[in-house]
């Protein structure tokens, strides 16, 4: 399956990616799913806006790196992005960037993992 992904870039274009290799992660991708993809030499977070069963593209497509499950935009947020885009005469990609501005780009550690790191640092200081 091919996924149409909207990236927070200042261009009026969407990009196509193939699914994740993991079958479980592949099933988790739906409209509104937040995904991590490679774009040029950067890793970006985008949102899946459409699912396509097949396409006539001749270029090889890149894979989605990771599905940021369970994070996703519901239908209401997707409609809001479109509405704000039309109302303000801005591109949907720039409105998406505004929605993602406070999104953590790195994975957060659980309290248990943080305590282990703190404990190791304390032992090193002694």
pTM attached to this predicted model = 0.74
Q: Which long-range contacts (CB under 8 A, 24 or more apart) does 51-59 make?
A: 51/1, 51/2, 51/3, 51/4, 52/1, 52/2, 52/3, 52/4, 52/16, 53/1, 53/2, 54/2, 55/2, 55/16, 57/16
9-39 pLDDT, tens digit per residue, is 999 899 999 887 766 666 778 899 999 999 9
Given the candidates 3.40.1440.60, 3.40.50.720, 3.40.50.300, 2.40.50.100, the CATH classification of the domain at 2-125 is 3.40.1440.60
51-97 pLDDT, tens digit per residue, is 988 777 788 889 999 888 777 888 999 999 999 999 999 999 999 99
**What is the structure's pLDDT at 14?**
93
């Amino acid at each position: 399956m091919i996924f149409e992904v909207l990236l927070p870039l200042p261009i009026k274009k969407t990009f196509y990616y193939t699914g994740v290799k993991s079958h479980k992660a592949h099933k988790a991708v739906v409209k509104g799913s937040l995904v991590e993809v490679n774009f040029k030499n950067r890793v970006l977070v985008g949102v899946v806006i459409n699912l396509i069963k097949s396409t006539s593209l001749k270029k090889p497509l890149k894979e989605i790196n990771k599905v940021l499950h369970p994070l996703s935009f519901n239908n209401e947020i997707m409609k809001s992005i479109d509405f704000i885009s039309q109302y303000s005469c801005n591109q949907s990609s720039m409105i998406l960037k505004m929605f993602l501005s406070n999104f953590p780009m790195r994975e957060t550690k659980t309290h248990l993992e943080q305590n282990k790191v703190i404990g190791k640092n304390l032992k090193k200081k002694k």
